[in-house]
Amino acid sequence: MDQKNSIEVSVSGVIEHKAYARVGLLGNPSDVYFGKTISFSLGNFWASVRLEPSTHLVVKPHPTHDLVQFSSLDHLVNRLQSEGYYGGVRLLMAICKVFYKHCKDNNINLQPGNFTLSYDTNIPRQTGLSGSSAIVCAALSCLLDFYKVRHLIKVEVRPNLILSAEQELGIVAGLQDRVAQVYGGLVHMDFSKENMDKLGHGIYTPMDISLLPPLHLIYAENPSDSGKVHSTVRQRWLNGDELIISSMAEVANIAAEGRRVLLEKDYQKLAGLMNHNFDLRRRMFGDECLGALNIEMVEVARRAGAASKFTGSGGAVVVFCPDGPSQVKLLEDACKKAGFIIQPIQLVPSLLSEVDIKTLSN
């Protein structure tokens, strides 16, 4: 498939879609605290799902990610320790269930017919780049086209369906990642309680990807120290902890200010906002929760004079080098010495089709 587009291939009824990894640029993790965020699709990594009409409904295990045959007991145990127990099959099944229920509840008739679903992904595991939701997002796109109901399910609602499928499996997350993957490109998101209560979703505003400066991604090939994501922060927020509530509001304001900064292309200010975003996260969550490896990725960039913050909840870092190519070279050398992988970030334009855009609320 073409790397830059989520495309549909109609050969004997075969449908194939792609969904990209995502980077939380500013405002995370306030998306699960009625805040604001700015995120974008990461063209470096993606998941693809293929739907092929078939006699029976089949969900095919991936030969690598859903491995059930091993060379030895030692191989099985090592595999589970590095990859965990779960592959993508459960994700495909969950979105099928959620999609069916949504259509039934909203009187959307589904044509008869079965299919075989299969998937592939190159999104690194445990890097906070939303690998699981990318698989679910690509699968939802296939279902929308197979049943010809894309025009009946609003774009704003689709991230909720993806999140619901993951919640079926006990995955704890917010809407931010799923919005970025449904929309593609660069998106400002407002998850204010008023919007969430009234609409059931946030207000999502696409922005031009040309507003972004050159950015880099840093991640560890084998992230063994991912920290305890979210820790006690959620409960403290619910309990009315003033530090958490004020800090989370400040994080949300970073995204609001970031929108203006990007529109003005004030990249020095952007660098400051990125650093401040991470500093606030660190103050709320603490070093033990964030994990030493994750903190070191941020610090490597900062020692080179670059701005840096987590792309999500840990595992990868988004970096901006305001001084340009010479600073990038310093950073590349520092990452090599530290054993981290660094890549220039590839941007992806909006993935919304004309049919999708017609479903958007005014």
Q: Which two tokens mark 284? A: 């709320």
> CB of 215 within 8 A of CB of 306?
no
Quick one: tokens of 271? 């660098």
**Residue 32 DSSP code:** G
- The amino acid at residue 88 is G
Distance CA(231)–CA(241), nearest Å, equals 14
Cβ distance 25 to 117 under 8 Å?
no
> How would you classify the pairing of strands 186-190 and 15-26?
unpaired
Instruction: Give the catalytic positions in this structure.
Output: 177
Enter the tokens of residue 277: 């975003």
Residue reference for tokens 């999502």: 204
Q: DSSP code of 347? A: B
Q: How many CB atoms lie within 10 A of CB 133?
A: 30
Residue count (the chain): 362
- The contacts of residue 259 (CB under 8 Å, 6+ apart) are 38, 188, 205, 207
Scanning 53-192, the segments in alpha helix (DSSP H) are 73-83, 89-105, 131-146, 158-168, 176-183
- CA 337, 341, 346, 347 torsion: positive or negative? negative
Cβ–Cβ under 8 Å, residues 259 and 188: yes
